[in-house]
Amino acid sequence: MEQLIITCQKNSEEYVDRKLAVYFYGWLVGKLDPEMIDRFHETGVNPLSIYVDEDRKNVRFHLGLLNDEVIEQVRLIFNDENMTTISLESSSQKSFEIIKKESRELTAKELSKRFYVDEAEGWHNVRIVTPMAFKSHGEYRFLPDVRLFLQSLMKKYTYLDEGTEKIDKDLLDELCRHVQISGFRIHSQRYFIHHAYVTGFCGNFILKCSGSQTLKNYLKILLDVGEFTGAGVKTSLGMGAIQLIKKEEKDGKAKG
């Protein structure tokens, strides 16, 4: 599993298009093997997640690459020396000059260590960076729901680990019995995809796990993987990105 972060220059200090991740996905898909993309759409499992964030000067495209096939293809595209610019015809800024490429990896070995050796805390402050929504019984849901959130993370992780999204329902039940939202600060936000929109929520919530150390470790690796995959619907089009807020970061902010 790999995360590739491509930093590009902005032409102005204004906010970029809200739909930039959607346009970027379109651009990237045009460069990937069509047969692979077809397979993603057929199986309903997309091992590619994308989101965009920005500051005044730069915009960053975050790519979560969940299997070796997609890692290899995306590397081929961005390791090419001629790949200096991303051209997105539909966005207001058409051309994005690449000024930095960074990547971080999360290996199966590292995940094993975190699960079997480390002792995770049971407390997590989860930032929802881009609008998150869930689909349940055919309908969109856009309030935080522990079960739908954990179920989505378990599906992503199980896919990564076993190549299938079929999760262990008993384990999900066990997790839901011991994990609660203990605080939140959230707001709803519309996310536009082509001509339609999905309402999601942004902000942050605090998860507390009161279960065994094993359960705490499992929750931690689900969240660690979640930083690469996102959670909920449309994670390949920019929705549902999460970041774990470290305690120090929070304290630092409080002091600032």
Please, what is the minimum distance in Å from the beta carbon of residue 185 to a second copy? 4
- Residue whose pair of structure tokens reads 């995809």 in the numeric block: 193
Of the candidates 45, 172, 186, 245, which one interacts with a second copy according to CB under 8 A? 186
**Residue 183 binds a second copy (CB under 8 A):** yes
**Residue 245 binds a second copy (CB under 8 A):** no
Please, what is the minimum distance in Å from the beta carbon of residue 22 to a second copy? 22
**Residue 77 binds a second copy (CB under 8 A):** no
Query: What are the Cα distances from residue 88, in Å, to 10, 24, 93, 94, 127?
Result: 13, 7, 8, 5, 28
Contact string 120-159 vs a second copy (x = CB under 8 A)? -----------------------xx---------------
Query: What are the Cα distances from residue 238, in Å, to 24, 51, 169, 204?
Result: 9, 4, 28, 17
**Residue 188 binds a second copy (CB under 8 A):** yes
Q: By C-beta, is 163 or 183 nearer to a second copy?
A: 183
Q: By C-beta, is 59 or 209 nearer to a second copy?
A: 209
Give DSSP secondary structure letters for 13-71.
SSPPPTTHHHHHHHHHHTTS-HHHHHHHHHHT--SEEEEEEE-SSEEEEEEEE-SHHHH
Q: By C-beta, is 187 or 253 nearer to a second copy?
A: 187
Binding part of the chain for a second copy, among 14-22, 24-32, 95-103, 181-189 by CB under 8 A, reads 181-189
Q: By C-beta, is 61 or 142 nearer to a second copy?
A: 142
**Residue 173 binds a second copy (CB under 8 A):** no
In this structure, are residues 66 and 159 in contact, taking their beta carbons and an 8 Å threshold? yes
**Residue 184 binds a second copy (CB under 8 A):** yes
Q: Where do contacts with a second copy occur on this chain (CB under 8 A)?
A: 143-144, 181-188, 199, 201
